[in-house]
Amino acid sequence: MAVQKHERHKKQFPMVWPQAVVLVLFCIFQNLGPVTPTSDRDAYFLKETEVIPRNEREYRMLTKDLNCEGNNLNVSYVLHSTEMKTLMVCTPDKNLSGKWCPEFNPDKPYSQNGRVQSKFTAECENMSESPCKGIYSVWESYLFFECFQKFGGISSPLEIPDVIGTAENNTSHSETTAIITDKGKEKEEQYVNVKVRETNNQHPHPDENELRRLTVDLSEDDIYPKVWN
């Protein structure tokens, strides 16, 4: 009788676990799609920064000397995973949910390699000035500057004057060469060699003291010539 009872229970409750596991995995695959690696590394750290570009032109200027090693990798601006810092990383293009800001999550503590993902403690969809789009490419994350102002420790680009335009407008008076210093160097003022156009009616032949009045502030967020009064 015991054997017959056991056989009856087996018929009522067939072994369905293997089929259930296969079904669950199939559903996950259908929702996420196939995973195809775009490079040998998903993302890797370049450096910390305190500056966010305000448009594509400034993005190209600030990243032109940074080379990403790998296929289809570009420089992206992301948040630190645990600290209030903004990082520049090399990463393949990937779409993120517009509800959260992007972050770099290292493979292990202090690792240069990792992956870019949504930072679930940094919501950005309801920000007042630069809310994230519904879905956005990680390469265009710099457009959502409030992410980095609120969670990454930088100043708002709205508080920075249009330094590039100012420098271009001043070229009729002088020709200067300015550089952007690497992070970690102290902001400093240095004199630069200035070539004043001879056609300038206001200062056709400036003396040495006049030349000293033309200075340039060398910093990451301020690259334009100044005339000191």
Q: pLDDT by residue (tens digit) across 142-194?
A: 999 999 999 999 987 766 655 444 444 443 333 323 333 333 333 333 333 33
Pairing of strands 214-218, 225-227: antiparallel
Q: Does some domain include residue 18?
A: no
In this predicted structure, the answer to whether residue 92 has a pLDDT above a threshold of 70 is: yes
User: In degrees to the nearest 10, what's the CA dihedral of 164, 165, 168, 173?
Assistant: -110
End residue of a domain, out of 158, 188, 217: 158
Q: Does some domain include residue 139?
A: yes
Give 31 or 110, the one with higher predicted confidence.
110
| Range of the structural domain that residue 211 is part of | 163-227
Same domain, 136 and 167: no
Same domain, 210 and 117: no
End residue of a domain, out of 118, 136, 158: 158
Mean pLDDT of 95-106: 93
Cα separation, 176 vs 91, whole angstroms: 35
Number of domains in the chain: 2
Same domain, 106 and 190: no
Same domain, 84 and 122: yes
Most confident of 40-49, 69-78, 150-159: 69-78
Mean pLDDT of 31-36: 34
What is the model's pLDDT at position 111? Answer: 87
Same domain, 105 and 194: no
What is the model's pLDDT at position 49? Answer: 93
Same domain, 132 and 194: no
End residue of a domain, out of 135, 158, 181: 158
SS3 190: strand
Cα separation, 139 vs 90, whole angstroms: 9
Same domain, 62 and 136: yes
Phi then psi for 129, rounded to 5 degrees?
-105, -30
